[in-house]
Structures are given as structure tokens and as C-alpha cells.
Structure 1
Amino acid sequence: MKNKLLPDADRIKMNVSMKNVLELISVFTIILMSSCAAMSQKHKDNSVTYYEDLSTARPAYINPDTLTNSNQAPKKTAVTTFSYDDNKRVAARIDSLTEMNRRIATVQGFRILVYTGSSSDESQRIKQQVYTFDSQLNVYTQYKQPSFRVKVGDFPDRVAASYILNDLKRSFPNAMIVPDQINLVR
């Protein structure tokens, strides 16, 4: 079996001739479709309207008063009113929810961690230093073995904590915001 390959010139001629055939077919198709569209517009008559009577296919409504052959007024249905008062039940439910919410003392929030170390004396000194910085801040000392932690504030979100953090960074460069259970302010 000999493998006959076409020379490059013959291959190029073949590709060009196939391309020409495809272009000719597409041009012929476009001309054919446009002529059909033009013919359909010529034969279209807009003056004819279509009408069909569908009354035989519609369901008929039968008035129940005509079946009994009586011209009585329709019966009025009695309106039932409930004497049960929902307001008392709703008020009792709101009171119980209020009481449950009063029992909740802490929520998830943020505090600023100012000190972490093994010295109790150092944590007390840092706590006093924070009080001298701002006496309105709540300062908490926490012992988690093996270290003491000093945390500042009860912030509901990180943005509120970041304002105080910027001020505390001058005195405590290692201060950072940490998630923690915070006390609810009532």
C-alpha cells in the first residue's frame, strides 16, 4: 500500500474549491429564502377577518332559583362572631418572652485583649493602667490556666471595638480585638 499524498499546490486548490462551493450554496439559500418571504407578503390579504361562533361549546350556567320555580329572596347566612379574645393570650405570650429575655445576661460580641501573661500582679497593674486611660471602660481580668488575660469593653460589633482599639494601641501596642461573651447593657 502506497500512501499517496497530494502536493501542497493541489491541497490548496482543493480547499479553495470547497470554500467556493460552500459560499455558492449559502448565497443560493439566502436568495431562495428572501424570494419566498417576498412572495408570502404579496399574497397576504389583510381584509379578511376570521369569525367562529363558539356559543355551542360554552358551558351553560343554570340559576338555582329558576329550578325551584320560586322567586324567594336568597337565604342570608348568619354571621358568627367569636367572643374569644386573642389579645389576652398574645399579651401573656409577650410577657413570658420578656421575662425570658431578662434572664439572658450575655451575648456573643467583642472585647479588646490588652494583656496575656502568667503574672497576676502584672495583670492587676495593666487593669489599673486601663482605668487611668478611660474610667468609663469595663475592664475584666480572666484566668485561663496557665495565663491571666485582661480584656476591655463590651462591644456588640467589631467596628465599635476598633474605635477604642485605635486609642488603646498607643499605650498597649499588642492589643487586639477578640470575640467573647459580653454583658448586655440594659
Structure 2
Amino acid sequence: MKTRIYITALMSLLFACSPKTAVKQTSYHESLAGYVPDYSQEAGEIDRRQPVIAQTPAEHPVSDDSEGLAKQYASFKARSENSYSTMYSIQAYSGTSREKARSIRATILRQFPGLMPKIEWRQPVYRVKVGQYYNRLEAYSTFRELKRSFPTTLIVPDKVILAKEIDDWPQER
């Protein structure tokens, strides 16, 4: 047993005292000259004083109907597969009680006559939501007012289906 201890101590002393060998660092250098294209002018020098203008005839008639194009683009965009947009609403209540949802809606109508709360029901939860805003910052002022009366008020994202025709789009919110 003692011999093992002595051998272990001797081995650790020998390995601890051995000089560390460092790998010699060399810089890496590779020539990419064979892969770079040669842009030197050979036979015909380009006259740099006159700009080169290519004149290509239009394939289709050109019109200045930018409003019509904007309508077509908006209509196409509305009909596309991704016809959803993320809007933000203020959720004043979320729970299973229909009576409580109705009373909170009535309270909001009394206290804040400019707001139009709506009750959503997705089984088994009733939600009272107010407004549709493009971003959280826009909803924040109304959120602060509602938060005083309803402490559980939240700003929540909603997916809104975009109108299918450009004429159906509301002009004002």
C-alpha cells in the first residue's frame, strides 16, 4: 500500500515538473489570385465621357393610373392567404360568469360613454373587450383609465380578418 502511495507521489512530481510544450503558431496565408477575375480592358477602351443609355420600348401601354394600381394592390393583398392582421384590444373581464360580464359591460358604458365594449364568448370563457388598436402604445391611454376601475384589465393581441374588397374597408376607425 505504501509503495503505491510512493509511486503515485513520484509520478505526480515527475509530471508536474515536466516542461510544458507549446504548439508553434504559424500564420495562415493562401493566395486567391487564381480565383479573382481580371477586369483589365483589353482591346476596346470604353469612352467614359458619355453615359451609356439603353432605350428599350415598353411591352405594355404605360399609364399614370396610380390610384387604380393602388386599389388593385390593396384588393389583392386583402384576398391573399394571410388576410389576418394583429390588432390589440383591452380586456376588462375574463371569466365563466355571463352575468358578471354583462354587469362589467354596463359599468364601462356608464363610466366611459365613448367606449363600445363587446362581450366575446369562447367556450367556457366570457371576455369583455374594448376597442381595436394598431399597437400597444395606442391602447395604453385607454388601458390606464380602465385599470383604475377594473384592476384585472389587460392589453391582449387579437387576430382580425381583413376585408375582402377594398370598398368594404372602413375609412375611419
What is the TM-score of this pair, normalised by structure 2?
Answer: 0.51
Q: Is 1:98 the counterpart of 2:74 in the alignment?
A: yes
The structure with more radius of gyration: 1
Unaligned 5+ segments in structure 1 are 1-58, 62-78
Partner of 1:41: none
Q: Is 1:157 the counterpart of 2:135 in the alignment?
A: yes
Q: Is 1:113 the counterpart of 2:91 in the alignment?
A: yes
Inter-CA distance 128–106: structure 2 relative to 1 (3 Å threshold): farther
Q: Is 1:127 the counterpart of 2:105 in the alignment?
A: yes
Partner of 2:63: 87
TM-superposition CA deviations, 1:42-74 (whole Å, max 9, x none): xxxxxxxxxxxxxxxxx888xxxxxxxxxxxxx
Give the counterpart letter for 1:173 in structure 2.
Answer: P
Give the counterpart letter for 1:98 in structure 2.
Answer: A
- Paired-residue identity, %: 25
Partner of 2:25: none
Give the counterpart letter for 2:123 in structure 1.
Answer: Q
Task: Name the SS of the counterpart of 2:152 in structure 1.
Answer: coil
Partner of 1:181: 159
2: CA distance between counterparts of 1:185 and 1:90? 21
Task: Name the SS of the counterpart of 1:87 in structure 2.
Answer: coil
2: CA distance between counterparts of 1:150 and 1:180? 13
Which structure has the highest helix share of the two?
1
Cα RMSD for the two superposed structures: 3.6
- Give how far 1:146 is off: 1.1
Inter-CA distance 128–84: structure 2 relative to 1 (3 Å threshold): same
- Give how far 1:96 is off: 1.9
Aligned 8 A contact 1:130 1:139 in 2: yes
Task: Name the SS of the counterpart of 1:107 in structure 2.
Answer: strand
- Give how far 1:152 is off: 0.9
1: CA distance between counterparts of 2:121 and 2:76? 30
Aligned 8 A contact 1:138 1:154 in 2: no
What is the TM-score of this pair, normalised by structure 1?
Answer: 0.48
- Give how far 1:93 is off: 4.0
Task: Name the SS of the counterpart of 1:114 in structure 2.
Answer: strand
* 1:1-186 → structure 2 map (5 Å cutoff): 84-87=60-63, 93-100=69-76, 107-182=85-160, 186=171
